[in-house]
Amino acid sequence: MSNLGFRVLPLKTRPDKALIERLSGVATPLISDNMNRLHGTSSTLRPIHKKAKLLGTAFTVKTRAGDNLLVHKAIDLAEPGDVIVVDAGGDTTQAIIGEIMMRLSKKKGIKGFVIDGTIRDSAAFKEADYPCFAKGVTHRGPYKEGPGEINVPVTVGNMIVHPGDIIVGDEDGLLSIPLDYAEEIIDRAITQLKNEKEIFKTIEAGTINRDWIDETLTKKGCTLL
């Protein structure tokens, strides 16, 4: 009998590494645009680290607020290239991870953390430039009692994440690409990136065409004097 709410499940499907690597030079706004700007976190989750990009496979954890027992188990189970995504209910009372867990994860090749909650030892994350998105920082440590679940759908910063989704984070924010649609979304984002680079060239050359603004205003019934 399954103990719903206190389970450790395997991550059955991971995206191809080559597919993930295609996103290495693509900023989150371009990816967001190609998911209709709905599949990303709110601005409540911000980078604790400096400039490193977060990119990898979602290894999800759902835990009771202020408790990190299942997060410790996730670190032991996650594989190189994974991102540990923790739904801690958005509670900011206790930190979910700190420097010891960060060092363990970095040594294992885990790409980083997403914590819908808080962390501590923030200076260590900044010094190592180890990717971590969280709601904030507190000195108060966690409990280790459970319950919780590993590799179930979770919600972080109003964003739903399924195990195996592709996690992308940078200075502009954090998003999750559903695995079933990843290839199509990545293709569109890369195409948009190429188009924007061409726009940059026309700006520098002074040849950019801005007729679309008046055309749009006219279509919407705006009076142009």
Q: Would you say 101 is a known binding-site residue? A: yes
Q: What are phi and psi of 123, to 5 degrees?
A: -60, -35
CA–CA dist 28, 176 (Å, integer): 10
Q: Would you say 100 is a known binding-site residue? A: yes
In three-state secondary structure terms, 220 is coil
Distance of CA 177 to the CA centre of its chain: 9
How long, in residues, is the chain?
A: 225
Q: Would you say 188 is a known binding-site residue? A: no
CA–CA dist 71, 140 (Å, integer): 17
Q: What is the 3-state secondary structure (H, E, C) of 36-85?
A: CCCCECCCCCEECCCCCCEEEEEEEEEECCCECHHHHHHHHHCCCCEEEE
Residues 6+ apart with CB under 8 A from 65: 88, 89, 91, 93, 94, 117
State the distance between the two ends of the chain, measured CA to CA, in whole angstroms: 73
Q: Would you say 98 is a known binding-site residue? A: yes
CA–CA dist 212, 217 (Å, integer): 9
Q: Would you say 1 is a known binding-site residue? A: no
Q: Would you say 164 is a known binding-site residue? A: no
Question: What is the number of other CB atoms lying within 10 angstroms of the CB of residue 154?
Answer: 23
Q: Residue positions in the annotated binding site for substrate? A: 98-101, 120
Q: Residue positions in the annotated binding site for Mg(2+)? A: 121
